[in-house]
Amino acid sequence: MTPQATAIAIVDPCTLPSLKERVIARIERQKPLLSGEGPTFCGTNENIEQIVAGLRPTPDDRILAIWGSGDQAFALAEYGARVYAVDNDPEQIAYARQRATLLRQRRYDVFLSINRAPPIIDASAMEGTIDYFTRKGCLTAVRSHVDRVSLHTADIFNLPEELKIEYTKAYLSNAHYYWGSSTHHELHGVAERIVPGGIVYACGILHDRLEDCCGLQEDRETTRQIERLGDFGWKPTVYVKRSTTTATPSSATPKSTTSRHGG
């Protein structure tokens, strides 16, 4: 009797039961986090789709990015961009390395749920982020490019020498006013690292005189386009770096003083 070949089923970790269902279930059954327990930022309530649409990442990009929870930087890496992720909290960077390891292991449900527990994080607040990453092919692409994300414990407005390179784009979230308003001089330090034609994505208004001093001109058309995606109150603005600047940095007063962080 000729033995019949047995088909071996290859299980995709993104399929049944649905990855989204598994992530939500893990979040809901996790032990509640105590105040001060775990990293400060475990998830973002910014619109990931909006960030990606504003920055338009490509494999040729070198993107300077504030880290927080890392969702934003991982999303930018999906498209093959080289992402230099910066956070001044060593605990956030440790959390980042843990999540990167989970990606490499294809433990996608844990990657999207680790340290995300009520009352700090709940599934409804994370639904947009979960939807973004659980769409078909997303996490497979992120995983394939995870080594293009480098992690650095540093101040994005006072970069160490090894990070003082040219970038094509920068993602600031609301870092410029989270721990107290940054000075125009500090923002100038970021802007001068951006190549002409490069993009800066920030929540809220940065500073007056950015165009004259730093060569950053608001891209009103792109800003209007991403506004249609829904910003959850973050009011993102996209800036483009001009080829020349005409002034020196000042300490102009920022227009926004709201203390929030995308995480």
Whole-angstrom Cα distance, residue 100 to residue 85? 12
Proportion of the chain in helix, strand, coil states, percent, rounded to 5: 35, 15, 50
The CA–CA distances, whole Å, from 6 to 1, 3, 12 equal 15, 9, 19
3-state secondary structure 26-93: HHHHCCCCCCCCCCCCCCCCCCHHHHHHHHCCCCCCEEEEECCCCHHHHHHHCCCCEEEEEECCHHHH
pLDDT by position in tens, the chain (length 263): 444 443 434 445 555 469 999 998 888 887 766 656 667 788 887 899 999 999 999 999 999 999 989 999 999 999 999 999 999 999 999 999 999 999 999 999 999 998 876 655 656 667 889 999 999 999 999 999 999 999 999 999 999 999 999 999 999 988 877 655 556 677 888 999 999 999 999 987 665 556 667 888 999 999 999 999 986 778 899 999 988 654 444 443 333 333 335 56
Residue 87, by phi and psi: left (phi above 0), alpha (psi -120 to 50) or beta? Answer: beta
**All domains of the chain in start order, with CATH:** 41-103+146-241 (3.40.50.150)
Q: Is 168 helix (H, G, I), strand (E, B) or coil?
A: strand
What is the tens place of the pLDDT at every residue in 104-140? 999 999 999 988 766 556 566 678 899 999 999 999 9
Closest CA to 40 of 179, 203, 231: 179
What is the tens place of the pLDDT at every residue in 164-184? 999 999 999 888 776 555 566
Give 202's DSSP letter.
E
Strand arrangement, sheet containing 236-241: 149-153, 82-87, 62-66, 167-173, 194-203, 236-241, 216-218
Which two tokens mark 250? 């000042």
Which residues 6+ apart lie within 8 Å of 219 measured at CB?
199, 238, 239, 240
Q: What is the mean pLDDT of the chain?
A: 82
- Element (H or E) spanning 103, and its range? helix 90-104
Which two tokens mark 178? 């989270």
Closest CA to 171 of 60, 70, 79, 55: 55
CA atoms within 13 A on the CB side of 128: 16
The CA–CA distances, whole Å, from 108 to 61, 140, 145 equal 25, 9, 15
